[in-house]
């Protein structure tokens, strides 16, 4: 069957259409993205204003039309941190359902981490052993660890690249003191759960998902997207540490001109600081980039439920 998964994130609304069957690997058929930056549409009270809600509804209408055009039998809609943390989340969800018919499932941060971990586990298989999975989104950083398909530990931290850029790095290029303050903040946040994870022992591979890690790996010389899903992509901490000061001195326009950045380099520096902090504090020298992430985890969980019905 052809399934669509509609991801209302902090930066973009992304529809992924796949051909999927229980027991089989989901095959991507179509991708439809719209930049919305919901996290930046919050007012002083933390609410998504009327203009932001109207934009969200319009983007969802467009995604639903794309899903219909591509023959999706069902669309699995979910929202992450921007909607989850909005003070008027219930009103937003009600408006969306009333005007589009879509009942957005708002995932908790821990659910995001668990579903992303499921996707990474299925991609790498049981032989990969103990996985530590890192995912940097627009609004949050998810960390999960475990041997099985359900992680032993999973946390979500408010360290998304878009959130941090908007809140901590107003300059273009950012001021050095702002970068230092953000670096301290990021590392203090990540350090809190490190002890919980390290008590389980050292992971076998460390795996990263998300656009931010893919972009950073590309900067460090990893294979291009055009080389396909199965090209192995790694990111070494040594390479990342060399890139952070270079990114700090660049404007948004200059970052957008780097390899692998067709449109926007706004969140790259903040994302690099989060990635560097996570790799340093968890003692990671090299991580492997996984092409599957949260959206694939949602699809896999749906297929699992279908197979037992």
Alpha carbon distance 43, 50 (integer Å): 10
**Homologous superfamily of domain range 109-294:** Exopolyphosphatase. Domain 2 (3.30.420.150)
pLDDT per residue as tens digits for the range 39-84: 777 888 999 999 999 999 999 999 999 999 999 999 999 999 999 9
Whether 194 has a pLDDT exceeding 70, the answer reads: yes
Going by pLDDT thresholds of 50, 70 and 90, the confidence category of residue 230 is confident
Whether 264 has a pLDDT exceeding 70, the answer reads: no
Same fold, 2-106 and 109-294: yes
Whether 100 has a pLDDT exceeding 90, the answer reads: yes
Residue 226: CB partners within 8 Å, gap ≥ 6? none
Residue 38 is predicted with a pLDDT of: 83
Q: What is the mean pLDDT of residues 136-154?
A: 96
Whether 220 has a pLDDT exceeding 60, the answer reads: yes
Domain boundaries defined on the chain: 2-106, 109-294
255, two tokens: 């970052």
Half-sphere exposure (CA, 13 Å, Cβ side) for 204?
A: 12
225, two tokens: 């997207």
Q: What is the mean pLDDT of residues 120-125?
A: 97
CATH number for the region 2-106 comes to 3.30.420.40
Average pLDDT, the chain: 94
Residue 120 is predicted with a pLDDT of: 98
Going by pLDDT thresholds of 50, 70 and 90, the confidence category of residue 226 is confident
Closest CA to 234 of 285, 168, 293: 285
Closest CA to 81 of 166, 162, 169: 162
Residue 308 is predicted with a pLDDT of: 61
Residue 292 is predicted with a pLDDT of: 96
Helix (H) or strand (E) run with residue 246 in it:
helix 237-248
β-sheet with 153-157: strand ranges across? 153-157, 141-146, 131-136, 206-209, 286-289, 234-236
């Amino acid at each position: 069957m052809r399934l669509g998964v509609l991801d209302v994130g902090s930066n973009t609304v992304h529809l992924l259409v796949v051909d999927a069957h229980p027991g089989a690997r989901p095959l991507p058929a179509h991708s439809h993205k719209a930049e919305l930056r919901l996290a930046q549409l919050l007012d002083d009270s933390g609410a998504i204003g009327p203009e932001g809600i109207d934009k969200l509804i319009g983007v969802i209408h467009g995604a639903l039309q794309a899903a219909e055009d591509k023959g999706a039998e069902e669309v699995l809609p979910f929202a992450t941190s921007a909607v989850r943390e909005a003070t008027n989340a219930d009103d937003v969800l009600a408006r969306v359902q009333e005007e589009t018919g879509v009942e957005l499932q708002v995932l908790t941060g821990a659910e995001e981490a668990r579903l992303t971990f499921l996707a990474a586990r299925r991609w790498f298989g049981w032989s990969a052993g103990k996985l530590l999975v890192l995912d940097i989104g627009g609004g949050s950083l998810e960390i999960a660890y475990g041997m099985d398909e359900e992680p032993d530990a999973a946390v979500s931290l408010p360290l998304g690249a878009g959130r941090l850029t908007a809140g901590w790095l107003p300059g273009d290029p950012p001021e050095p003191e702002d970068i230092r303050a953000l670096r301290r903040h990021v590392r203090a946040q990540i350090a809190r759960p490190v002890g919980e994870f390290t008590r389980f022992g050292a992971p076998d591979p460390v795996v990263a998902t998300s656009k931010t890690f893919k972009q950073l790996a590309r900067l460090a010389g990893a294979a291009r997207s055009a080389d396909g899903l199965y090209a192995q992509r790694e990111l070494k901490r040594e390479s990342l540490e060399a890139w952070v000061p270079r990114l700090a001195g660049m404007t948004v326009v200059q970052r957008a001109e780097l390899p692998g950045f067709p449109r926007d380099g706004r969140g790259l520096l903040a994302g690099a600081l989060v990635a560097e902090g996570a790799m340093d504090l968890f003692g990671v020298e090299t991580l492997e980039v996984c092409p599957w992430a949260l959206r694939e985890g949602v699809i896999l969980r749906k297929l699992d439920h279908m197979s037992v019905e």
